Amino acid sequence: MKEYLKKKQQHKEHIKQHVEWKLILRLKIFAVIVTGIILTWVWKIYLGELWILLGILALSIGILIGFLTGRMFKIFWHEETQKVISRLDAIGVGFLIIYIAIEVERTWFFGHWLTGVELNTFALIFVAGTLLGRLLSMIQSIKKVLKEEEKSMC
């Protein structure tokens, strides 16, 4: 157990050393928001305001869109700072516009099939899914960049 905790602490220090603090903060904020919304979802299911299958559908659609729009920020290795950083690039601006359009029109779009409290809960879970998809996409990109950089350092 001690060995596992020691390895986990070393991994945490490695991430802290090689990933820009703004990027880490963004990931932490996404994680807190997603956790809060998912806890709200569980409560809404308990109250009977949404079927669990509709919630899973909303989360799945959101994760898919989040993965697709996870490309908004280009995540790359910055040679001068020796850290993984993220910046919005030209392609990212296009994804950002699409992402905003989807977020603004989600209630109208899903309103064709759902109404009232179900619609609001579905839309909330959809937002959690998009954030979770972006979070997972960003983590995947960071791991990929760190892995490539470790190979080039050897």
Considering the domain boundaries, does residue 136 fall inside one?
Answer: yes
Rg of the chain over Cα atoms, rounded to whole angstroms, equals 18
Residue 35 in any domain: the answer is yes
Structural domain contains residue 2: no
pLDDT tens-digit map of 31-90: 999 999 899 888 888 888 788 898 899 999 999 988 887 777 778 788 888 888 787 766
**Domain count of the chain?**
1
Q: Is residue 3 part of a domain?
A: no
Whole-structure pTM value: 0.78
Residue 11's pLDDT is: 73
Question: What range defines the domain where residue 27 resides?
Answer: 10-153
Cβ atoms of 98 and 69 closer than 8 Å = yes
The yes-or-no verdict on residue 151 having pLDDT over 70 is: no
Q: Is residue 61 part of a domain?
A: yes
